[in-house]
Amino acid sequence: MPPRPPLPSGIGLGLRAKLLPAIERGEADGEVAFLEVSPENHIHRGGGLPARFSQVAERFAISTHGLTMSLGGHEPFDLEYVAELKRFLDRYSAPGQWHSDHLCFSGVDGSAFHDLLPVPFTEVCARRVAARVREAQDRLERPMLVENISYYLELGASDFDEPEFITQVLERADCGLLLDVNNIHVNALNHGVDPYDWLSRIPLARVRQLHVAGPDRWDDTLWVDTHGSPVRDEVKALMAWVIERIGPRPVLLERDKSIPPLAELLAEVRALDEVYQEAVARWRAGQVAAARPSDARARVEGSVGARV
């Protein structure tokens, strides 16, 4: 396989088996900035899918997003899995490109829960998670991003709220954040959190990538992060708010349930890209405005120096 390209900014799409035939026909060429995959869905996979994925990966930048590292867990990493994951990343990711997984635990005593469960927002847990993130980075020989999750119950006996806890983990591990703005939106709906206050209290400079998706209503009191609906306007607004402040980043559109034809998803990609590009333009305008006073000062000082 030729050298892997670095992950570009812009709107990407999650690669799902249902979408693969249309992508193989070239229908996504020039339409998405990158494709994202979960390595767990490809490692040890039999049949013709590995060869088909390899061919698609030659035409697109690939982002990798894990499901089973259980960064918030207590048990040692499965080193066989980590070795397989490293081989996959070394083949399909650009050198030095990050791998991401969730800030959660997903198994205990060797059993997988097949779900992403919240961890206590305590100092002890922050130290443990940060140590595991550092270990993962050392073993994979590449940076890690942790992703904020949606959760449906709040654990007691916490030392921090969620933004404080995430900040503790990021700073102790010296790692980046995969910011899922749909998860922020879902938690805001379910727990009464102000999403913009939440965003204002995390280190946005550590955001390397964003995820957007659409939730579904479970009942009159609960929203669920299903990745089964179009992105809501509130989520687009959160994405734009972040991009206006940090500049261009890779943004992934996730769809894992009720997956429509690729053409419909690409229409959503284009609509998202309009919002994204407008936010990037506002960020650039802000950068120019912020630079003007110092530029003017430099010109004045240069002029004075010339006269002296």
Q: Rounded to an integer, what distance in angstroms lies between the CA atom of residue 246 and that of residue 205? A: 7
Question: For the chain, what are the domain ranges?
Answer: 10-307
> What residue type is 231 in one-letter code?
V
Per-residue burial over 25-41, b = 16 or more CB atoms within 10 Å of its CB, e = otherwise: eeebeebbbbbbbbbbe
pLDDT given at position 263: 98
Q: At what angle do helices 181-191 and 233-246 cross, to 10 degrees?
A: 130
Do 85 and 66 form a contact (C-beta atoms < 8 A)? yes
pLDDT given at position 109: 60
pLDDT given at position 4: 85
pLDDT given at position 154: 75
pLDDT given at position 288: 80
Do 173 and 134 form a contact (C-beta atoms < 8 A)? yes
Spatial neighbors of 300 by CB under 8 A, at least 6 apart, are none
Q: Across the strands, what pairs with 211?
A: 180, 252
Average pLDDT per 10 consecutive residues for the chain, totaling 308 residues:
87 96 98 96 82 94 94 91 96 96 74 69 96 98 97 83 97 98 96 96 98 92 90 98 98 96 98 98 90 48 42
Spatial neighbors of 36 by CB under 8 A, at least 6 apart, are 12, 13, 14, 15, 62, 63, 64, 65, 252
Phi then psi for residue 133, to 5 deg, are -65, -45
Q: In the predicted model, what is the mean pLDDT of the chain?
A: 90
Q: Which CATH topology does 10-307 take?
A: TIM Barrel (3.20.20)
